Structure 1
């Protein structure tokens, strides 16, 4: 049994720093650093192969020609993504590292590393002449160049080269190649570092940069990985184990090579006793303990985010990598992301996310071929409050890594046809053009699509095909009646009279459409199709786009781009600018209020969405595409806007009629039957505790 922490006698504080390298510095003053280095390096080369021709003067010349200052890198480390309640959603990184100051690294850890790697660290300068000369004798006999004799400072320089190489195998190989040229380079930089950094600073940098195996970079990540403690909490045997890993993390891997790791740990303990850092009794007591591993494999990346938050996390990653706010080029943004150390605070509301998740679980199964997808945003800010899917994030059966809430540029798909949800855009256009709520149009059961001219000046001739879901003619009805019953033969001629191009521009002003955008593979995203059936929702749009567009109606015509970030702070504590919602007026308040009146009629007693109304001032619209392949409900209060779609994303033209959805079968599978109940339950839970501020309504005709 491993002894308790209190059972192990305390060890001495870290070695007291002495004036570094007094003899070497004196020699450097008399002969010049480059001459000393040249003499040492010539000694490395000449015993090996006389034909090398590198004497002291030549080595000194080469030494002087090297740049003198090593640029100390900002270490790549983990970034954390937080929700609106300041809880961590996920930890993401290119390397598992958390940089900590020397004050948060246990003194016993500092001592263990110095004693096993460079016990004269506080007595010598950049070069340990004693160690170097011993290494030279070995190298001269073997004819090669070894790492023996390298000081901690020189090793730190080598680790800087490795850090700069990143994931490049060739770069890492070059950084670790033991050649005379590399030795010269390491030495020159080590001398410069010793002149401008204290010993404690160098040791601090070393402990944060070095690799300890198992994917852990730096002592904090290593302490968490192997012992599930912070670096400040390491005990003597734990510190000795970690210090022993530095020489060869794979050979002494305590998980896969425990016997070798134990032997190496005990070597470190013996070294600490030899140099007086601990007593022999302390060493013996520590050696009697087991490895005492308590492995904690870090949960990293969006795949390891809180259940349900993975899709939003993935969206946040795309914002960081795609938005120019985080770098003018893709390379600059990738470098920022890889560097890590970011504290990324987001808009995600745990309450609203839970409401979406629970609503989906109540009405659809992850095993169903159909998938429910929902986005919720805040009117007036564009803040994304929730983003959910009934099929979980992952690569397994009944899972997906595609975020259907967003488009391909943001890690999603192409979107889905919206059906009659789009009629609100046509209505907003007509109202803006001066057509009143009481405007009447004769609405038969079926009619032709009238001729229309698109934004390119192309005239689309009249063609048959406009029809309603019922064979009953509606006769002359006004806009409120047409919206409540979702009458196609009203909204198609209304689109023609308001102007097809005007409807397109209104859609664009509400964030609908992807003109000029490309996805991550470079494929152009499909712009709005300017067909005569535009008003019937033939374009592929995403739940986030629809929820955000409807939020403009809720906020008196103010449109805000969807935003996921509230603040981003880099590793140095500097606040980075985050993308702006760019809120601006796209509809007059009076037009927005008239749209609210129209969409409130849908959830009134006479509307298609009457059964899913919530006991708040609300408005919304159902939308069902041809053959019931997509079923939508989008709606809002003054506080929240939510859009939900149910569809089979793998077969977007396949009907939902007769398909098992949460243990039920619907025929027809209208939006108010499928997506509507999900919207209702999510909004009801999310609105709990929020004020019921009434929407602005215009008087109905």
Structure 2
């Protein structure tokens, strides 16, 4: 092909010469050599002076992606996470052998030419003309640096990476213009430093520091001659010369670099010969990246930190901006994870639930008053193997958790009790609480009324649970019918509003169902949510949103803004203190006795769902709250009857006998050595409570007869115990006529 002509009457070769700023004589030489197939290579489209001038002069250099280090609250490392393993170092912290080796093999005239090496260009043009394409580059280190910037900016977008590395004259011209600008602005030393920090050396190692650590387990400043030559040789083709998988090719390439260093007089021929005789001497440190490598069983805690950075607007207004910040890395993230608490969580899980069990457990500990998450673990580890998972069983769906969370059973009842007390109900409020009953109807909700059109019923755990009960006894025994009567009395809306105030949002992000059964824990929540909700009781009514991050230091030591816990009052101090008193009774002489802590005051609540597909214990002390869930991790769950968990057989699993001991052991270890503050106790005494010998029993009254009086007044009474609320279907009608006490109507109370 001849000298293709374009605008202005200049051949494409002459235009290229003009673009490069070379002399007319050089342009003539280049024109004589000719560039074949320029149209196919893109120069026809990109090769005008106007197009060249239209390329922006300033090269946008994105921050280099680096590894991020995640630490616990004491500064211990949890995990290293990176999109590209890179640690940026200064030129003075790179071995002089490495600096010499990379220049010798990649651009021996680096310190002599400008952005463009004319001799190299002429050599490449001639070679390409003979081959009929672009077979040989003439890239200086500066040009290579510019290309790597394009690659870095492309990130993980394969199409953009292909564009940044495509062998076309159009891309080359763009690369050349930026190289000219970079030479003027940065200078040789800075360009070399940047180049060594951005370049890919294979085996997931970006930059010389990561490469030195990967292949020799040492810092770049300590590289010996033969080691530096090996790494310099990798740049041309990291896969072909990979010393791990292709040691012979790597050694041959290393020796080529050593010879070249001797040719340019960086070292003597004797030094080169001596270095060539040495073995590769690898001391490989394989990359460990991501939350899967987290220590202390903190893989899911680590993953929650990642989700926080990807979802919280504090780290960027858009999802794209937040993802870019995470990918760029270079962060040191100090978290709230307490190493003592985390160790205790893991020990308790390992003791009580095996990884191979048909069910799993998840445990979360939080600090009341600060929202700090102190520990998080589960029996199914973070991973991709058998009985491993990437689902954080402690978290909501939006933060990497299960789709629906897990029904919480009776652990929701204290929220109903708190709402009722806030509505003016007394903690000694009594209800008939039969063993089995229909849901009362209609019931007020946030959206109108709910009616039991289908005649749905509710019953207690066993037939012996028959009221009447007051709130304290009903809470301790977890009486279902009591709490259904309670929510039906005050309405559903105050209860779901209280749940929201306590941060008890559904795991799937949907609104609460406006039905009375919510009081029985029919909706799905996460262990983190339940632990933090109960922390509101421990904090005497003030809810604080959960936080995982204490501080973040960015590249260059810059402190970044992090999310702060937001605290708000959910209920009065008196209400919270009353609930604390009620829930102390659960662990002292109620369903949660197996979970009670011996050395300090504690409170909590058990929970078991229909068909025992989930079992819970959620409890707290004044300075720590924790939730434990046990159940099938899948969508359908596992019916926990005639089952062995952690080597212990169970006819039926209860919240007290499996989650309770897990909670007790996890909390005991986490609190060991810490202060043991007390709750503010509230006296719960029914002023209308009759003494046992004064209280009439249902059998003492006969239907159709009641007390009269001698003066002939009204003697009948629908309900002989006015302090007990009875459902309408249990109450007969009629007022007794006076005189001798003959009465009409009476009442029908279950015997």
Task: Please tell me whether the aligned partners of residues 48 and 141 of structure 1 are also in contact (alpha carbons under 8 angstroms).
Answer: no
Paired residue secondary structure (1:120): coil
What is the rounded CA distance, in whole Å, between the counterparts of 1:115 and 1:644 in structure 2?
62
Q: Which residue of 2 aligns with 1:48?
A: 34
C-alpha spacing 1:627/1:140, structure 2 compared with 1 (3 Å): closer
What is the rounded CA distance, in whole Å, between the counterparts of 1:252 and 1:172 in structure 2?
22
What is the rounded CA distance, in whole Å, between the counterparts of 1:92 and 1:545 in structure 2?
26
Asked whether 1:459 is paired with 2:436, we answer: no
Asked whether 1:600 is paired with 2:589, we answer: no
Task: Please tell me whether the aligned partners of residues 44 and 139 of structure 1 are also in contact (alpha carbons under 8 angstroms).
Answer: no
Q: Which residue of 2 aligns with 1:624?
A: 608
Aligned residue among 591, 616, 623 for 1:639: 623
What is the rounded CA distance, in whole Å, between the counterparts of 1:41 and 1:645 in structure 2?
77
- Tell me by how many angstroms 1:186 deviates: 1.6
Aligned residue among 324, 329, 354 for 1:365: 354
Deviates more, 1:300-309 or 1:645-654: 645-654
Q: Which residue of 2 aligns with 1:694?
A: 678
What is the rounded CA distance, in whole Å, between the counterparts of 2:171 and 2:269 in structure 1?
39
Asked whether 1:482 is paired with 2:468, we answer: no
1:525-547 CA-to-partner distances (Å, cap 9, x unmatched) read 44322221111111111111100
Paired residue secondary structure (2:575): helix
Residue correspondence of structure 1 range 379-528 to structure 2 within 5 A:
379-413=368-402, 414-451=404-441, 452-461=443-452, 463-514=455-506, 525-528=509-512
C-alpha spacing 1:150/1:651, structure 2 compared with 1 (3 Å): closer
What is the rounded CA distance, in whole Å, between the counterparts of 2:53 and 2:20 in structure 1?
6
Q: Which residue of 2 aligns with 1:259?
A: 248
What is the rounded CA distance, in whole Å, between the counterparts of 2:408 and 2:133 in structure 1?
72
1:174-215 CA-to-partner distances (Å, cap 9, x unmatched) read 222232222222221111111111211000100011111122
Task: Please tell me whether the aligned partners of residues 82 and 345 of structure 1 are also in contact (alpha carbons under 8 angstroms).
Answer: yes
What is the rounded CA distance, in whole Å, between the counterparts of 2:56 and 2:515 in structure 1?
65
1:244-281 CA-to-partner distances (Å, cap 9, x unmatched) read 11111122111222111111101111111122211222
Task: Please tell me whether the aligned partners of residues 443 and 477 of structure 1 are also in contact (alpha carbons under 8 angstroms).
Answer: yes
- Tell me by how many angstroms 1:232 deviates: 1.3
C-alpha spacing 1:41/1:291, structure 2 compared with 1 (3 Å): farther
What is the rounded CA distance, in whole Å, between the counterparts of 1:39 and 1:231 in structure 2?
44
Q: Which one scores higher on RCO, CA 8 angstroms, separation ≥ 6?
A: 1
Paired residue secondary structure (1:67): coil
Larger Rg: 2
- Tell me by how many angstroms 1:65 deviates: 3.2
Q: Which residue of 2 aligns with 1:664?
A: 648
Task: Please tell me whether the aligned partners of residues 39 and 60 of structure 1 are also in contact (alpha carbons under 8 angstroms).
Answer: no
Q: Which residue of 2 aligns with 1:565?
A: 549
Task: Please tell me whether the aligned partners of residues 147 and 178 of structure 1 are also in contact (alpha carbons under 8 angstroms).
Answer: no
Q: Which residue of 1 aligns with 2:266?
A: 277
Deviates more, 1:162-171 or 1:505-514: 162-171
What is the rounded CA distance, in whole Å, between the counterparts of 2:408 and 2:162 in structure 1?
54
- Tell me by how many angstroms 1:679 deviates: 0.5
TM-score normalised by structure 2 residue count:
0.84
Task: Please tell me whether the aligned partners of residues 71 and 79 of structure 2 are also in contact (alpha carbons under 8 angstroms).
Answer: yes
Q: Which residue of 2 aligns with 1:231?
A: 220
Paired residue secondary structure (1:195): helix
- Tell me by how many angstroms 1:684 deviates: 0.8
Task: Please tell me whether the aligned partners of residues 83 and 328 of structure 2 are also in contact (alpha carbons under 8 angstroms).
Answer: yes
Moved over 4 A (4+): 31-35, 37-46, 49-55, 58-62
Paired residue secondary structure (2:555): coil
C-alpha spacing 1:115/1:654, structure 2 compared with 1 (3 Å): closer
Q: Which residue of 1 aligns with 2:289?
A: 300
C-alpha spacing 1:597/1:264, structure 2 compared with 1 (3 Å): same
- Tell me by how many angstroms 1:698 deviates: 1.5
Task: Please tell me whether the aligned partners of residues 352 and 662 of structure 2 are also in contact (alpha carbons under 8 angstroms).
Answer: yes
1:664-684 CA-to-partner distances (Å, cap 9, x unmatched) read 122331111011010011111
Q: Which residue of 2 aligns with 1:94?
A: 83
What is the rounded CA distance, in whole Å, between the counterparts of 2:389 and 2:220 in structure 1?
37
C-alpha spacing 1:37/1:575, structure 2 compared with 1 (3 Å): farther
Task: Please tell me whether the aligned partners of residues 272 and 278 of structure 1 are also in contact (alpha carbons under 8 angstroms).
Answer: yes
What is the rounded CA distance, in whole Å, between the counterparts of 1:175 and 1:612 in structure 2?
61
Asked whether 1:612 is paired with 2:598, we answer: no
In structure 2, runs of 5+ residues without a counterpart are 1-16, 686-751
Task: Please tell me whether the aligned partners of residues 37 and 63 of structure 1 are also in contact (alpha carbons under 8 angstroms).
Answer: no
What is the rounded CA distance, in whole Å, between the counterparts of 2:159 and 2:389 in structure 1?
35
C-alpha spacing 1:70/1:45, structure 2 compared with 1 (3 Å): farther
- Tell me by how many angstroms 1:136 deviates: 3.4
- Tell me by how many angstroms 1:60 deviates: 5.1
C-alpha spacing 1:464/1:66, structure 2 compared with 1 (3 Å): closer
Tell me how many residue pairs correspond in the alignment. 661
Deviates more, 1:230-239 or 1:146-155: 146-155
Asked whether 1:216 is paired with 2:205, we answer: yes
C-alpha spacing 1:505/1:154, structure 2 compared with 1 (3 Å): same
Task: Please tell me whether the aligned partners of residues 408 and 614 of structure 2 are also in contact (alpha carbons under 8 angstroms).
Answer: yes
- Tell me by how many angstroms 1:37 deviates: 7.3
Paired residue secondary structure (2:545): coil
